[in-house]
């Protein structure tokens, strides 16, 4: 595509976005949703492991690494804005394996990527801190070896696995920052008090805040608390699934097509994608 920004351009833009202010980074799960979010003017996008997994008929965290890498690459190629990869736990337990996965992810052209500290084991849902830090260091080293400017986000999954001690969250995030993370992320914290406490404790490192539903907070509210980045994870994908499931159930259970109302027409969608593709033709 003629005139499109380079991978280096996207990475520099993404890093710049983390320096001041606050931006929303919504999560598409296919090329169409990515293109539409870009059309709305969002400055960056992030993949969603859950949203993509559902589209493949799999639960979250059940998509193989190669399939996820192909998906990430497709989203990166489809858009002109920086893309951050939800790269789950790095598809490995040991630091060396995480480093290899991160290297492959960087090769897709992403502007950023995130790595979780959850194990997938319900008996021991989080890596011990020392091991989690070693994984973060390995990811950081793999990024640095590429010579690129990929923004690295480290995630503390404590709240998502039922460990809601904010002191543990903060201790983990601080350790990850010291190990080389550019941005920190504790999905599951929701209240103003929790968000403010985390941001204050890890300053000046950037913080990503995940917003789900219900939430009384607005973009302005979260920006005032000092967050640099706001994401919605798989929420937009679940919104789409909600509409689909409700309409399909009405047909199956009540013989009613009422759920098909208030949807965009073929004409509207065809016009959008036709115009979008025209803009992408070489000049």
Q: What is the pLDDT of residue 282?
A: 56
Q: What is the pLDDT of residue 4?
A: 87
Q: What is the pLDDT of residue 149?
A: 93
Is pTM beyond 0.85? Reply is yes
Query: Has residue 192 been placed in a domain?
Result: yes
Number of domains in the chain: 1
Query: Has residue 243 been placed in a domain?
Result: no
Bond from prior residue into 168 cis (ω within 30 degrees of 0): no
φ and ψ at residue 134, rounded to 5 degrees: -60, -35
Query: Has residue 191 been placed in a domain?
Result: yes
CATH number for position 192: 3.20.20.60
Query: Has residue 252 been placed in a domain?
Result: no
Q: What is the pLDDT of residue 212?
A: 84
Query: Has residue 253 been placed in a domain?
Result: no
Which residues share a beta bridge with 152? Answer: 113
Q: Looking only at Cα atoms, what is the longest distance across the chain?
A: 59
Q: Taking the chain (283 residues) in consecutive chunks of 10 residues, what is each chunk's mean pLDDT?
A: 83 98 98 98 98 97 98 97 98 98 98 97 96 98 92 98 97 98 97 97 98 90 98 97 97 97 93 88 54
Q: Whole-angstrom Cα distance, residue 215 to residue 58?
A: 27
Per-residue 3-state assignment (H helix, E strand, C coil) for the chain: CCCCCCHHHHHHHHHHHCCCCCEECCCCCCHHHHHHHHHCCCCCEECCHHHHHHHCCCCCCCCCHHHHHHHHHHHHHHCCCCEEEECCCCCCCCHHHHHHHHHHHHCCCCCEEEECCECCCCCCCECCHHHHHHHHHHHHHHHHHHCCCCEEEEECCHHHHCCCCHHHHHHHHHHHHHCCCCEEECCCCCCHHHHHHHHHHHCCCEEEEECCCCCCCCHHHHHHCCCCEEECCCHHHHHHHHHHHHHHHHHHHHCCCHHHCCCCCHHHHHHHHHHHHHHCCCC
Q: Are 223 and 232 in contact (CB under 8 A)?
A: no
* Domain span at 81: 7-233
Q: What is the pLDDT of residue 281?
A: 62
Query: Has residue 280 been placed in a domain?
Result: no
Query: Has residue 283 been placed in a domain?
Result: no
Q: What is the pLDDT of residue 277?
A: 85
Query: Has residue 122 been placed in a domain?
Result: yes
């Amino acid at each position: 595509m003629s005139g499109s920004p380079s991978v280096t351009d996207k990475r520099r833009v993404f890093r710049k976005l983390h320096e001041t202010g606050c931006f929303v980074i919504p999560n598409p799960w296919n090329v169409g949703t990515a293109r539409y979010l870009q059309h709305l003017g969002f400055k960056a996008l992030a993949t969603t492991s859950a949203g993509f997994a559902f589209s493949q008929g799999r639960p979250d965290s059940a998509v193989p690494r190669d399939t996820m890498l192909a998906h990430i690459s497709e989203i990166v190629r489809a858009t002109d804005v920086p893309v951050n990869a939800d790269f789950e736990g790095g598809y490995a337990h040991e630091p060396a394996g995480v480093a290899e996965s991160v290297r492959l992810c960087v090769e897709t052209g992403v502007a950023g990527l995130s790595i979780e500290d959850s194990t997938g084991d319900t008996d021991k849902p989080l890596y011990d801190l020392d091991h989690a830090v070693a994984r973060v260091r390995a990811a950081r080293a793999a990024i640095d070896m590429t010579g690129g400017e990929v923004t690295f986000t480290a995630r503390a999954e404590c709240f998502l696995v039922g460990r809601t001690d904010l002191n543990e969250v903060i201790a983990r995030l601080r350790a990850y920052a010291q190990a080389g993370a550019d941005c920190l992320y504790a999905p599951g914290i929701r209240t103003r008090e929790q968000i403010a406490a985390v941001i204050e404790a890890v300053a000046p490192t950037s913080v990503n805040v995940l917003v789900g539903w219900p939430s009384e907070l607005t973009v302005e509210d979260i920006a005032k608390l000092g967050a640099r980045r706001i994401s919605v994870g798989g929420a937009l994908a679940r919104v789409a699934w909600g509409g689909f499931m409700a309409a399909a159930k009405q047909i199956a259970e009540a013989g009613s097509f009422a759920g098909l109302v208030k949807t965009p027409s073929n004409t509207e969608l065809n016009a959008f994608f036709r115009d979008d593709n025209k803009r992408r033709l070489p000049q």
